[in-house]
Amino acid sequence: MEFEKIKLVTVDITQLAVDAIVNAANRTLLGGGGVDGAIHRAAGPDLYRECLMLEGCDTGSAKITNGYRLPAKYVIHAVGPVWRGGNQNEENLLESAYQTCLQLAKQYNCKTVAFPNISTGIYGFPKENAAEIAIRTVQKFLNKNEIPERVYFVCFDQENYNIYQSRLEL
């Protein structure tokens, strides 16, 4: 596999000047803790108002909004699954969330997209498993599509960074 279109970074995702940042959102899309809350705070109240009109989002899917006060033009709100032991279709739902984000990025001509580590925080998805799914899904999409041109995996902590780094160096 070629990984030149994928970059691994440890920065504040709300500060990235990319076409779209992905929000690890809850089903309401109305903000919460972690990266979700940080994105809503940085984008300002207009993001909340637009999300309110979207009437939520199903687990394993995503919806797109404007970025408002963020340097990113768009926010793609991905709803990953809560880990329930691995027997509730969690892996397929996480893959679907990434896939839907990439499809929206392509549809909105987002050449650069930044992903957080979806579902690995309070949702409890095992970090190593989530990284495998994220990398595999993104690489497969990039191999078949010209857009996005570059995908950033934004790691909040050193543990996630190390997990992604080890898999991207294969």
Closest by CA to 115, choosing from 155, 143, 68, is 155
| Edge-first strand listing for the sheet containing 74-78 | 6-9, 150-154, 112-115, 20-24, 74-78, 62-66
What is the per-residue burial (b if ≥16 Cβ within 10 Å, else e) of 49-72? Answer: ebbeeeebbebbbbbbbebbebeb
Query: Residue 46 catalytic?
Result: no
Between CA 28 and CA 4 the distance in angstroms is 35
Q: Which of 12, 36, 58, 157 is catalytic?
A: 36
Residues annotated as catalytic (active site), given as ranges: 36
